[in-house]
Chain A
Amino acid sequence: MKLFEVENLSYKLGDFKLDNINFRVNQGEYFVLLGQSGSGKTLLLESIAGFNSVEGKINFEGKDISKLSPEYRNVGFVYQDFALFPNLNVRENIMFSAKYKHIENPEETLHDLADFLGLVPLLKREIENLSGGERQRVAIARALFSKPKILLLDEPLSAIDPTFRNSIMKFLKDIHRKYNLTTIHVTHNFREASYLADRIAIVMNGQIKQIGAATDVLNNPANIEVAKFLGFKNILPSSMINDTKERLFSVDPNAIHVGKYKIDCDYVFGGTLEECMGIVDHYKIFVNVNGEQFFAKILKRDYQGCYADRGENIYIGFNKEDVCYL
């Protein structure tokens, strides 16, 4: 069921422009806006929250809310640096909205949230005495306490210690399920998106370049720009693999086989070894085939060594099912 829809949204800020943005978010969906920094994704999120007066429509349950002030939009917002109020303690931060909105059973809501988010022992603490992870949980609790119809997360993982990222990602998914939320999450990290998202929109230079189910977007990038951003390697002309159409293909470096002698694959090429770098658990191997460079990754547990010295001939190959056409 469609909950939320952005139609032809445009907004100009100095030289930058959000340009004719269209997307919809379904009830209960985890929607990720994925883009590099400076692509306009945070600006888009702030526009949804009502901080910018934009052109176009933002429909929420069928009504256009694009002219409403932020306080009437029923959105919860969690910033990258959490933006907790330093003049209030944890409890006062979480319950901030109770003064301005009607919240049913505020005490019960507080305790339920504090319990689930592990904040019970922190309720009386001052904000300055919290760790990064604690701050994030308070910011999420504060947003959820106001019972928003849609939760907006701006790079929620980038201020978190990398060792905790995986557990926080799981935690975000748990919250989403438990509170039956509709979430729009902004990030530059496609791994984050691949784990969390039901659907993904790729944002580049203020435009949405591709939108769809997470697996579709991540596996079938619409163009070379999106493919490069999503970490696709070996983007090469498809004429190399006898394709009649004039297009590009990509092959995962992990799917490329390497050998000193001819190997058994659907496509096999002989080339010159340009570089072989041993890194922790794998080798990065760069092979020049008729002026095009292939990059392959070989796990050290599969093979020890580089197959050949720099400048020597080497064979690489891969199978049809590993080719992705762009």
Chain B
Amino acid sequence: MKNWFLYSLIVLASVVLLFLSVPLLNMIFGSDLMMLLDTLKQKDVVGSIYLTMKVSLWAMIFVLITGLPLAYIIARYNFFGRSFVEALIDIPIMIPHTAAGIALLMIFGRGSISNFFDSIGITFVDTEMGIMIAMMFLSSTFLINGAKEGFKKVDVKLEKVARTLGANPMQVFLRISIPNARKDIINGALMMWGRGLGEFGAVIMLAYHPMVAPVLIYDRFTTYGLKHSAPVAAIMIIISIFIFLSVRFVNNRLK
């Protein structure tokens, strides 16, 4: 019994692993296949899943464009208030999602900022745009922090040498910094996108309609009960896991 320590670790670890996997496995393998196929034929289900993925992707792209520069600034420069900025990025992870939704509604649902966006034809209440900002608010942390860690791992000397070889700072950023932080950026983006898919609390405050998948699941559960919401949940879980695993696989293959 000299390995008693290792055995006890394995036993304890199995408890949490089972807890994490059994509900998911039950959802996937315990569902009635005919029921799943039937559900897939329902237009509102397919539309809702498509909408969820699409809007979460937009949110991710928006944060790639704006969050990568932010992550790079934090990783490279030491400035007054840096830890404050870092804390600000982390905060959305800790606050209740419904509270975040209310906060967003106060800014983008009424008042001068909302009016400004109205005047250029952008509204947030009950629109895809509203869903996007709700997803973005609660999940951009993952992308920004992932990219920040990635940029930190890129040796500054690579960037310096590239400058002596004639590249300007923008060219260095695009050809050296981003490609060498790529793995962490992709992982972060994937985490953000995945979190966006599951966003419920904030989305429901800003846009009950059009219904994203989590809202649809909730809506069916409260209106028709478990029997009608479970297949949608199962489909959503299967699709998410599939996409998640395939992007992870491809990313790990990258040098």
- A binding-site residues for B, Cβ under 8 Å: 46, 49-51, 69-71, 73, 75-77, 79, 81, 83, 85-87, 96-97, 99-101, 126, 128, 142-143, 146, 148
Contact of A146 among B165, B168, B171, B182 (CB under 8 A): B165
A49–B179 Cα distance when bound, in Å, is 24
Inter-subunit contact A126/B255 (CB<8 Å): yes
A87 contacts which chain B residues (CB < 8 A)?
176, 179-180, 182, 255
Provide 21 A-B residue pairs closer than 8 Å at the C-beta atoms, listed in order of the A residue. A49-B160, A49-B164, A51-B160, A70-B163, A70-B164, A71-B165, A76-B164, A83-B157, A83-B160, A85-B158, A86-B180, A87-B176, A87-B182, A97-B167, A99-B166, A99-B171, A100-B166, A100-B168, A101-B165, A142-B161, A148-B164
User: In the complex, what residue of chain A is closest to B172 when comparing beta carbons?
Assistant: A71
Indicate if B162 sits at the interface (CB-CB under 8 A): yes
A97 contacts which chain B residues (CB < 8 A)?
165-167
Number of CB contacts from chain A to chain B under 8 A: 70
Which secondary structure dominates chain B's binding surface?
A: helix
User: In the complex, what residue of chain A is closest to B159 when comparing beta carbons?
Assistant: A83
A101–B163 Cα distance when bound, in Å, is 11
A76–B182 Cα distance when bound, in Å, is 27
Inter-subunit contact B176/A79 (CB<8 Å): no
A97–B166 Cα distance when bound, in Å, is 6
Inter-subunit contact B161/A79 (CB<8 Å): yes
Contact with A along B51-86 (1 / 0, CB 8 A): 000000000000000000000000000000000000
CB distance from B165 to the nearest CB of A (A): 4
5 closest A-B pairs by beta carbon, nearest first, are A100-B166, A101-B166, A70-B163, A97-B165, A83-B157
Residues of B within 8 Å of A, CB-based: how many? 19
A148–B161 Cα distance when bound, in Å, is 13
B162 contacts which chain A residues (CB < 8 A)?
85, 96
Contact with A along B91-132 (1 / 0, CB 8 A): 000000000000000000000000000000000000000000
CB distance from B197 to the nearest CB of A (A): 30
A128–B180 Cα distance when bound, in Å, is 13
Indicate if B38 sits at the interface (CB-CB under 8 A): no
Contact of A75 among B164, B167, B168 (CB under 8 A): B164
A148–B163 Cα distance when bound, in Å, is 13
User: In the complex, what residue of chain A is closest to B158 when comparing beta carbons?
Assistant: A83
B179 contacts which chain A residues (CB < 8 A)?
87
CB distance from A61 to the nearest CB of B (A): 17
A101–B165 Cα distance when bound, in Å, is 8
B168 contacts which chain A residues (CB < 8 A)?
69, 71, 100
Inter-subunit contact A100/B165 (CB<8 Å): yes
Which residues 150-204 of B have a CB within 8 angstroms of A?
Answer: 155, 157-158, 160-168, 171, 175-176, 179-180, 182
User: In the complex, what residue of chain A is closest to B255 when comparing beta carbons?
Assistant: A126
B161 contacts which chain A residues (CB < 8 A)?
77, 79, 83, 142
User: In the complex, what residue of chain A is closest to B179 when comparing beta carbons?
Assistant: A87
B163 contacts which chain A residues (CB < 8 A)?
50-51, 69-71
